[in-house]
Amino acid sequence: MNEQASFLEQELGYGVRLEQRNKVLRNTYWLLGLSLVPTVLGAWAGVAFGLGQLFSGAIGIVLFLAMAFGFIYAIQKTKNSAAGVPVLLAFTFFMGLMMSRLIESVLGFKNGPDLIMTAFGGTAGVFFAMATLATVIKRDLSGMNQWLFVGVIVLLVGGIINMFVGSTVGMMVLSMVGIAIFSAYMLYDIKQIIDGGETNYITATLALYLDIMNVFQNLLMLLGIFGGDRD
């Protein structure tokens, strides 16, 4: 009798944990979709009013990093309160502003709008592929985190070096590596939610949002290098 009661308790506990994970995943996807709205508005404002120029040059990079880390710190502090969602959405608007310089540059191509839509579609395809893969992989992927983090550091160092070198080939290589790293991060972050390693949908959304934005930007840069038409 005691064994049956223990078995029922375990089953009920598992059912509750599974429902909690599904709830976090649903809320994450909902907030992730919502976060695209202020991102688009921020990108539009940046292009329309030239606000993306604020993040150009060395001073602009320092300003971006200071504001980005400030937002991320604020999101972490408010993730369990009612202010968490508005702070996250404000951050996504800021990211749209930052991305407006790249979008404005791509719009300088004759086929610029097509390149942007292709990059958006490609990013969506990567996301759905990683989300599907995360649901079928049974093994624990937590060990990926340290390797992916090292990859991001190498990517950042390479990006800084290429800023001074100005190599198109270097930019192309960095973009391809960036797509690979942040696609893998998508898989890792979604799997963390599914496995119960991430239980807060605001921080889960932040992680996936950054993955998606990095894949989109790197894919857009690649498309601009290979497919940009100035004629």
Residues of the chain with pLDDT under 50: 5, 7-9, 11-14
**Residue 172 and residue 96: Cα distance in Å, rounded?**
22
The confidence score (pLDDT) of residue 20 equals 86
Domain range spanning residue 222?
Answer: 2-227
| Alpha helices for 50-111 (secondary structure H) | 57-78, 84-107
**Residue 14 and residue 141: Cα distance in Å, rounded?**
21
Count: domains in the chain: 1
The confidence score (pLDDT) of residue 8 equals 42
Task: Write the DSSP assignment of 131-182 as a string of letters.
Answer: HHHHHH--S--TTHHHHHHHHHHHHHHHHHHHHHH--HHHHHHHHHHHHHHH
> For 41-77, what is each residue's pLDDT tens digit?
999 999 999 888 888 777 888 888 899 999 999 999 9
Amino acid (one-letter) located at 54:
L
Entry pTM: 0.91
